[in-house]
């Protein structure tokens, strides 16, 4: 990859989002001055089956959503002891709960007695959970508190090994709750984040207030949905009116294991070329993070009213359908009516772009892919570097050897 990418090299002296942006601004201004942008090494010729093959989808679901950590929710969605939230999107029914000790735990949302669903509400607060089938009751640590008719059920040694909820690996980090949807798995979150942890910390999601949350249903492949986030090539066509005056297609692209960071150029950055670096208004720089396999964190420009961050998590349910979960957040909470207005405006614009443009195109393309001759390959251009990188990581982690023909 090229385009002055830092390639995830450590940025010394970073203490805040402002410091991070200042250090990222240099490569961005260099690209502006030279008239270049981040590009991949070569054109990728992707097989159309990449988006439609059902067997591939089954491998992706198992490898990416069951064997890798995924973001289940924001910490702010579990604000106090007793808070709970169900999470089914990774393929297993899971309930997240914050205990009296403040720790977040995750369990299969399955009664160990007869496998019925225990928590049926999507979100709420409770000190205990009771299965409606036979009344088995559990606390926030997953421990069984009561088994009706236990004296007649059987000997204690026949019950005790099976009485508690089954735990899943979970870890809370900088405002995000990561879950591994495999009760028998282990999660090494430091290894998974591959050096991206400090950037996540600087974003400030630990203080995020969710102002808008939404869930969109899309008839397309989940990877195509993500592809629409991973290149700026379509900005001046698909989003010409929607994002007019907001972004330049010039960017810097950095990788962290399978994850990546886009540093976008705000319009007007040409004027920075003749300025001293300390005069650059770096807080205007938008950033976008991708946490493999499915989470986008878009960090808006920091304005006089505050900072808005939106999070998109894409979860597939088949090769031809996915759900997009949106969370629009005010970092540090809403500071003023003006800040609320800014978040509301950002949400309205972004949601319209997703529904009417990005995801609309994805659904049309999914239908179009079915009509292509077998073996058709689609060219991914060098300036579509995020798509290129994502597809290569999908192939590498699945061990298919595809997506690497250059």
* Tokens, residue 98: 């914050």
To the question of pTM greater than 0.85 for the whole model, the response is yes
User: Any idea what the CATH number is for the domain that residue 242 is in?
Assistant: 3.90.380.10
Q: Which of 186, 219, 243 is the last residue of a domain?
A: 186
**219 & 352 share domain:** yes
Q: Nearest CA to 254 among 2, 14, 12, 68?
A: 2
**336 & 389 share domain:** yes
Range of the domain at 268: 17-63+193-398
Strand partners, 167: 107
Q: Into how many domains does the chain fold?
A: 2
Q: Which of 165, 186, 207 is the last residue of a domain?
A: 186
What whole-number distance in Å separates Cα of residue 402 and Cα of residue 35? 32
**250 & 324 share domain:** yes
**97 & 243 share domain:** no
Q: Is residue 3 part of a domain?
A: no
Which one-letter DSSP state was computed for residue 17?
H
What whole-number distance in Å separates Cα of residue 208 and Cα of residue 283? 18
Encode the chain (406 residues) as per-residue pLDDT tens digits: 443 344 344 444 557 999 999 999 999 999 999 999 999 999 999 999 999 999 999 999 999 999 999 999 999 999 999 999 999 999 999 999 999 999 999 999 999 999 999 999 999 999 999 999 999 999 999 999 988 988 888 887 777 778 999 999 999 999 999 999 999 999 999 999 999 999 999 999 999 999 999 999 999 999 999 999 999 888 888 988 887 666 677 899 999 999 999 999 988 899 999 999 999 999 999 999 999 999 999 999 888 888 999 999 999 999 999 999 999 999 999 989 988 998 898 899 899 999 999 999 999 999 999 999 999 999 999 999 999 999 999 999 999 865 545 4
**180 & 205 share domain:** no
What whole-number distance in Å separates Cα of residue 97 and Cα of residue 85? 7
In Å, how far are 130, 133, 147, 169, 333 from 117, measured between CA atoms? 10, 9, 16, 19, 34
User: Any idea what the CATH number is for the domain that residue 115 is in?
Assistant: 2.102.10.10
């Amino acid at each position: 990859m090229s385009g002055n990418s830092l390639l995830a090299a450590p940025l010394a002296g970073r203490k805040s989002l402002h410091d991070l942006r200042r250090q990222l601004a240099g490569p961005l201004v260099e690209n502006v001055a030279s008239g270049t942008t981040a590009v991949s090494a070569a054109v990728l010729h992707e097989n159309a089956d990449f988006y439609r093959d059902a067997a591939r989808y089954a491998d992706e679901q198992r490898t990416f959503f069951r064997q890798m950590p995924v973001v289940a929710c924001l910490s702010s969605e579990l604000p106090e002891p007793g808070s709970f939230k169900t999470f089914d999107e990774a393929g297993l029914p899971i309930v997240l709960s914050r205990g009296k000790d403040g720790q977040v735990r995750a369990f299969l949302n399955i009664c160990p007695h007869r496998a019925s669903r225990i928590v049926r509400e999507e979100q709420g607060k409770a000190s205990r959970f009771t299965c409606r089938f036979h009344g088995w009751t559990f606390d926030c640590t997953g421990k069984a508190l009561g088994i009706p008719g236990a004296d007649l059920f059987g000997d204690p040694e026949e019950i005790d090994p099976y009485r508690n909820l089954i735990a899943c690996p979970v870890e809370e980090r900088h405002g995000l709750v990561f879950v591994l949807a495999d009760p028998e798995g282990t999660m090494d979150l430091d290894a998974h984040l591959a050096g991206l942890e400090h950037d996540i910390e600087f974003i400030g999601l630990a203080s995020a207030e969710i102002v808008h949350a939404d869930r969109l249903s899309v008839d397309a492949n989940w990877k195509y949905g993500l592809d629409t986030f991973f290149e700026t090539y379509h900005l001046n066509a698909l989003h010409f009116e929607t994002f007019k005056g907001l972004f330049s297609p010039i960017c810097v692209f950095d990788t962290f294991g399978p994850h990546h960071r886009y540093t976008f150029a705000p319009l007007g950055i040409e004027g920075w070329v003749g300025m001293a670096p300390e005069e650059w208004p770096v807080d205007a720089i938008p950033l976008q993070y991708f946490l493999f396999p499915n989470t986008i964190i878009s960090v808006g420009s920091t304005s006089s009213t505050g900072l808005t961050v939106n999070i998109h998590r894409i979860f597939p349910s088949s090769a031809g359908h996915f759900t997009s979960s949106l969370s629009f957040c005010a970092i540090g909470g809403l500071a003023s009516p003006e800040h609320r207005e800014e978040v509301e405006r950002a949400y309205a614009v972004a949601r319209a772009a997703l529904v009417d443009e990005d995801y609309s195109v994805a659904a049309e393309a999914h239908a179009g892919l079915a009509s292509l001759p077998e073996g058709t390959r689609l060219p991914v251009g060098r300036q579509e570097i995020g798509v290129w990188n994502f597809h290569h990581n999908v192939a590498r982690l699945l061990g298919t050897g595809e997506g690497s023909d250059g």
